[in-house]
Amino acid sequence: ARGSAGPSVHNGQRRRRSPSPTQCRAQPQAPPHPLSAPPDQARPRRANVLGKRSWRPGLLDVRGPRGAEGPPPAGTLSPAPLFSPGTYERLALLLGSIGLLGVGNNLLVLVLYYKFQRLRTPTHLLLVNISLSDLLVSLFGVTFTFVSCLRNGWVWDTVGCVWDGFSGSLFGIVSIATLTVLAYERYIRVVHARVINFSWAWRAITYIWLYSLAWAGAPLLGWNRYILDVHGLGCTVDWKSKDANDSSFVLFLFLGCLVVPLGVITHCYGHILYSIRMLRCVEDLQTIQVIKILKYEKKLAKMCFLMIFTFLVCWMPCIVICFLVVNGHGHLVTPTISIVSYLFAKSNTVYNPVIYVFMIRKFRRSLLQLLCLRLLRCQRPAKDLPAAGSEMQIRPIVMSQKDGDRPKKKVTFNSSSIIFIITSDESLSVDDSDKTNGSKVDVIQVRPL
């Protein structure tokens, strides 16, 4: 009896120790502790520890649910750091330097223009417009990225991303459009000898800002959109989208804000250089006047080269990256390449005041006067200083034709302008007051910057 009961008890205990699957599913679980976290929150992910929220499509899409082409932003921070902490610190240092230099240089230009009456010319007003746009870029565009570098990722919300992309596009287009208008202004003044007044300059600046607002505001109205850039530290136009609406905006943006401005600048400065080189056709000039012509020609050529070269160096990396992304080669654009091109583009705000403003003699003298460093003028005796409002006149030089005594070319120089008149009509009088004839005269008038 004992031997027969043993196995039954043993089997019963074994059954109690190993319940069936049905009994396991039916067995009720103990209620959770009131202070314990839910199962999905017991072990938070790294993103939640850092205070990140899960990303949902279209978070930075100003139009709606479609907008996942860019790096997915998670709440107010990037989904993951794209660079090492040391790299973020170096980027913050570079961006801070660019921002400080941009603000300082462009603000100094505005102060000089406001303080000194002799600087208030229509041409200088266009240069001040460039400095104003560069100042706003340094204050708004660089600041957003600088703070993001300090936080190791994008720290702004949807509105901040839209504002960053909008302001960057607006002020960038203003700079390019102003450079184009400046080239056209120099073209009509030098080649066609037309006088530019303040009314023309103010109208041009108004059209520039309206034109730039139209292009920068188009993504806000549904024509493309602003998304987080590849480097995750700023926002830009959606270049990846294959939608016809977005692709058409990218195409017209390239044409209206890159191809046309570069074409106009090349055309205008090409004609200016050609017109200035026509001065070499004049022979038998006095030595001083030849030196003046050659110096001004070299200065103009140098400024044109620096304008084109700086523009291409600063913006060409961004342009190449945009072309790669548009043509489906976005996988070649890494965050490092993207942030380097971004730094090059933002550095243009520092170079513009140096090239377009501080190479001008009047601005240099005003700056020295502002800093109380007028050493040359203070050391010169008072008798050597020219009288106020006077100009150092150099007598006109008239060249005669080979087959006659009637003048064919006339060159006039003074301290504020260079006038070169070429005519094929032999009946043209040398005297400026003699305007009785109706001959066709091509006038090239150059006023030094």
Count CA atoms within 13 Å of residue 152 on its CB side. 11
User: What pLDDT score was predicted for residue 79?
Assistant: 53
270 or 295, which is more confident? Answer: 270
What three-state secondary structure class fits 444? strand
Between 427 and 230, the more confident residue is 230
Q: Model confidence over 145-170: pLDDT tens digits?
A: 999 999 888 888 889 999 999 999 99
Q: Per-residue pLDDT for 120 more than 50?
A: yes
How far does CA 143 lie from the centroid of its chain?
Answer: 15
List the one residue out of 58, 62, 56, 73 whose CA is nearest residue 223.
62
214 token code pair: 């139209």
End-to-end C-alpha distance for the chain, whole angstroms: 123
323, 369: one domain: yes
Whether the pLDDT of residue 45 is over 50: the answer is: no
* CATH number of residue 166's parent domain: 1.20.1070.10
Q: Of 345, 375, 405, which residue constitutes the final position of a domain?
A: 375
Q: Where are the alpha helices (DSSP H) in 151-259?
A: 158-190, 198-217, 244-254
Q: 341, 375, 409 — which closes off a domain?
A: 375
User: What's the mean per-residue pLDDT of the chain?
Assistant: 71
Longest dimension (CA), the chain: 154
Whole-number Å distance between alpha carbons of 104 and 112: 12
Residue 274's pLDDT is 82
**Structural domain includes residue 124:** yes
Q: What amino acid is encoded at 392 in this protein?
A: M
**What residue type is 13 in one-letter code?**
Q
Q: Specify if 66 maps to a domain.
A: no
Length reported for the chain: 449
| Strand partners for 444 | 420
Q: Is residue 20 part of a domain?
A: no
Distance separating alpha carbons of residues 125 and 447, to the nearest angstrom: 16
Answer yes or no: is pLDDT of 208 > 90: yes
Q: Same domain, yes or no, for 153 and 296?
A: yes
Q: According to the model, what pLDDT value does residue 51 have? A: 38
Q: How confident is the model at residue 44 (pLDDT cuts 50, 70, 90)?
A: very low
Q: What distance in Å separates the CA atoms of residue 447 and residue 419, rounded to the nearest whole number?
A: 9
Strands 441-446 and 235-237: unpaired
Domain residue limits at 343: 85-375
Where does the pLDDT of residue 398 fall: very low under 50, low under 70, confident under 90, or very high at 90 and above?
very low
Given a cut of 80, whether residue 104 has pLDDT beyond it is: yes
* pLDDT for 220: 93
Residues 232 and 348 in one domain: yes
Per-residue pLDDT at 177 exceeds 80: yes
Cα angle vertex 383, ends 379, 388, to 5°? 95
Residue 13 lies in a domain: no
CB atoms within 10 A of CB 328: 9
Given 327, 345, 375, which residue is the final one in a domain? 375
Amino acid letter, residue 235: C
Query: Domain tally for the chain?
Result: 2
Measured in degrees and rounded to the nearest 5, phi and psi for residue 408 equal -110, -35
Same domain membership, residue 206 and residue 263: yes
pLDDT of residue 280: 61
Of 20-34, 41-55, 156-170, 264-278, the one with minimum mean pLDDT is 41-55
Summarize the chain as % helix, strand, coil (round to 5). Answer: 60, 10, 30
CA angle centred on 141, ends 93 and 314, rounded to 5°: 75
Q: Are 404 and 349 within one domain?
A: no
Average pLDDT over residues 90-99: 93
Q: Are residue 280 and residue 416 in the same domain, yes or no?
A: no
CB 58 within 8 A of CB 65: yes
What pLDDT, on a 0 to 100 scale, did the predictor assign at position 353? 81
Whether residues 367 and 399 share a domain: the answer is no
Is position 306 within any domain? yes
Regarding predicted confidence, which is higher, 405 or 338? Answer: 338
Residue 179 and residue 301 in one domain? yes
| Closest residue by Cα to residue 282 from 427, 399, 412, 413 | 399
Question: In this structure, what token pair is assigned to residue 362?
Answer: 């009047």
385 occurs within a structural domain: no
Question: Token match 């204050």: residue?
Answer: 139
Q: What pLDDT was estimated at residue 218?
A: 94
* Confidence check: pLDDT of 439 > 90: no
User: Do residues 274 and 125 both lie within one domain?
Assistant: yes
Q: For residues 361 and 106, is the Cβ–Cβ distance under 8 A?
A: no
335: amino acid identity, one letter: P
Same domain, 430 and 342: no
Residue 70 lies in a domain: no
Indicate the range of 16-25, 87-96, 116-125, 282-291 predicted with least confidence. 16-25
Considering the domain architecture, whether residues 439 and 370 belong to the same structural domain is answered as: no
Residue 100: pLDDT over 80: yes
- Smallest Cα–Cα separation from 130: which of 237, 209, 216, 235? 209
52: its two tokens: 């990140």
Specify if 63 maps to a domain. no
What's the whole-number mean pLDDT along residues 235-245?
89
Top mean pLDDT of 15-29, 42-56, 180-194, 362-376 is at 180-194
Number of H helices, E strands in the chain: 15, 6
| Residues 245, 296: Cα–Cα separation, whole Å | 49
- 122-152 burial, b at 16+ Cβ within 10 Å, e below that, comes to bbbbbbbbbbbbbbbbbbbbbbbbbbbbebb
Residues 414 and 316 in one domain: no
In this prediction, residues 318-330 reach a mean pLDDT of 88
| pTM for the structure as a whole | 0.68
**Chain centroid to CA 166: how far?**
13
Query: Which structure tokens are listed for 280?
Result: 């070499």
